[in-house]
Amino acid sequence: MLGSVFSVLLVLTLQTHDSSVEGLEQRAYDYTKYHTMDEIMQWMWTMEKDHPDVVTSVIYGTTYEKRNITLLKIGLNSTKQKKIIWMDCGIHAREWIAPAFCQHFVKEILGSYKTDSKISEMLKNLDFYITPVLNMDGYLYSWKDNTTRLWRKTRSPGSENCTCFGTDLNRNFYANWGMVGISRNCCSEIYNGKSPLSEPEAQAVTDFLSNNRDNILCFLTIHSYGQLILLPYGHPNITAPNQDELMKVGLAAAEAIKAVHSMSYTVGTPPDVLYPNSGSSRDFARLIGIPFSFTFELRDKGDHGFKLPEDQIQPTCEEAYQGALSIITYVHDKSYVRAAATSIAATLWSVVMAVWLSSATD
């Protein structure tokens, strides 16, 4: 009797302890709200401090206003050369759901790798490089007041004879720069900048991708809105060499998204499903040989547009997480699982050949 009372007490104590820990985490960070740049920076430090064995922060550039552009590198230690999955959010300032998604993605990965053997396997082979907010200056500006809420571009000044501010970062990359879907007017939302890579944020991403191009398997850049998964290229006359495979992987991701909350995402190249454009980071990544490169345009389809209500943050992130995971799993398995299977098959085949050859010569 005493024993069972004791064990009930013990269970109660453990449960109380557990729920208080969960309660603490929830109080510490609310993933169902939009957060300021300061809060997101704090959150990044917390992730690094709380998961020192898997999370490292890396500064890889500075913005026009001299803020450190920081990513979280997430992966398990390995003695082998690891491959890289890139994800950036917040290249366009007003698309607040994008940074919210990057944070959700990090939370999910860190919350599941100890219990989910597939996530753990992927973290052994891959490092995730995740930039929660790339256009930090613009993001801060979009938080300033109601008149700046819909700011899209960077915060660098225009050319000498143009007094407007900001360049569209996603038109500033060295990928068919200036060819289609851009404006040379510095007051335009799609002004492509004084020159390719005039923006330090685009330069920072370019340097990182170029220096690591042989190891990057997949490039994901997160935007809103429109519920689309976009493949390279934005220029209607250029086709990626693996376009069919990109389409197949994109369609599988859209199916994974739909299975969560029945939301439809359309898959295709920008000229086919949106509008032609040039100078995007997605196109640059594919152009330098990163095989899988996608843009996600998250919810919605225009009802709320960039001002997606906070009660949609969680469902949007839940479904997009499954979409991203579908792509990452495919890319991982292509390099590791199927590659291993092929090498086993090759070994078996050479054994068969050796046996056959030796029997033939006997």
Question: Which residues have a catalytic role annotated?
Answer: 297
By CB under 5 A, which span of 26-34, 223-231, 341-349, 353-361 interacts with Zn ion? 223-231
Nearer to Zn ion, 152 or 332 (CB): 152
CB of 222 to Zn ion, least distance (A): 9
Half-sphere exposure of 279 (CA within 13 A, CB side): 27
CB of 306 to Zn ion, least distance (A): 9
DSSP string, 287-335: HTT-SEEEEEEES-SSSSTTS--GGGHHHHHHHHHHHHHHHHHHHHHHH
Q: Helix or strand or coil: residue 244?
A: helix
Beta bridge partners of 128: 74, 85
Query: Does residue 83 belong to the site contacting Zn ion (CB under 5 A)?
Result: no
**Residue length, the chain?**
362
The one-letter amino acid at 317: C
Nearer to Zn ion, 92 or 104 (CB): 92
Nearer to Zn ion, 101 or 330 (CB): 101
User: Token digits for 1?
Assistant: 């009797």
Query: Does residue 223 belong to the site contacting Zn ion (CB under 5 A)?
Result: yes
Nearer to Zn ion, 109 or 298 (CB): 298
Query: Does residue 235 belong to the site contacting Zn ion (CB under 5 A)?
Result: no
Q: What does the alpha-carbon distance between residue 136 and residue 142 come to, in Å, rounded to a whole number?
A: 10
Nearer to Zn ion, 83 or 104 (CB): 104
Size of site (CB under 5 A) for Zn ion: 2
Chain CA centroid to CA 338, Å = 24
Query: Does residue 282 belong to the site contacting Zn ion (CB under 5 A)?
Result: no
User: Token digits for 67?
Assistant: 């803020």
Question: Is 259 within 8 Å of 252 (Cβ atoms)?
Answer: no
Question: Is 118 within 8 Å of 329 (Cβ atoms)?
Answer: yes
- The H or E element spanning position 106 is helix 97-112
What b/e string do you get for 82-96 counting C-beta neighbours within 10 Å, with b at 16 or more?
Answer: bbbbbbbbbbbbbbb
Query: Does residue 92 belong to the site contacting Zn ion (CB under 5 A)?
Result: yes
**Euclidean distance between the first and final Cα of the chain, in Å?**
78
Half-sphere exposure of 165 (CA within 13 A, CB side): 12
Q: What is the dihedral of CA 126, 127, 133, 136, to 10 degrees?
A: -140
CB of 168 to Zn ion, least distance (A): 9
By CB under 5 A, which span of 43-51, 88-96, 199-207, 264-272 interacts with Zn ion? 88-96
Nearer to Zn ion, 110 or 205 (CB): 205
CB of 18 to Zn ion, least distance (A): 40
Q: What does the alpha-carbon distance between residue 10 and residue 42 come to, in Å, rounded to a whole number?
A: 36
CB of 230 to Zn ion, least distance (A): 10
Longest dimension (CA), the chain: 87
CB of 221 to Zn ion, least distance (A): 9
Nearer to Zn ion, 47 or 222 (CB): 222
What are the residues binding Zn ion (CB under 5 A)?
92, 223
